[in-house]
Amino acid sequence: MYLVALAWAYVALLMAAAEALSPQGTLLGAFVTLMLYGVLPLGLLLYILGTPGRRRRRRAAELAAEGDAGGHPPTGPAEGLAAEREEA
């Protein structure tokens, strides 16, 4: 995902440089090109694609806060299985 975003940013930067260095181009045109073809689309794309990770981190933080609220550490499935094991 980040490789495509990096390549897109590189192309947008080159487009802005070509606009700025062109005889008919201006620095304002280069800035607008960089914003409209580079920063805004990439920001939106990375925000949308980062949503599952943000949701996962928020859910993990909520679960950690619930485990701390009771004063007991959160238990995993391995601890429960080890306690139920009997000697033969």
Domain ranges of the chain: 1-52
Q: Which two tokens stand for residue 29?
A: 């045109």
Contact 39, 2 (CB under 8 A): no
Classify residue 27 by burial, with Cβ atoms within 10 Å: 0-12, 13-18, 19+: exposed
Q: How confident is the model at residue 68 (pLDDT cuts 50, 70, 90)?
A: low
Judged against a pLDDT cut of 90, whether residue 88 lies above it is answered with no
Judged against a pLDDT cut of 60, whether residue 79 lies above it is answered with no
Tens digits of residue pLDDT in 7-42: 999 999 999 999 999 999 999 999 999 999 999 999
Tens digits of residue pLDDT in 55-67: 999 999 998 888 7
- How far lies 10's CA from each of 2, 18, 23, 34, 70, in Å? 12, 12, 22, 10, 50
Helix or strand (DSSP H, E) at 22: none
For the entire predicted model, the pTM comes to: 0.63
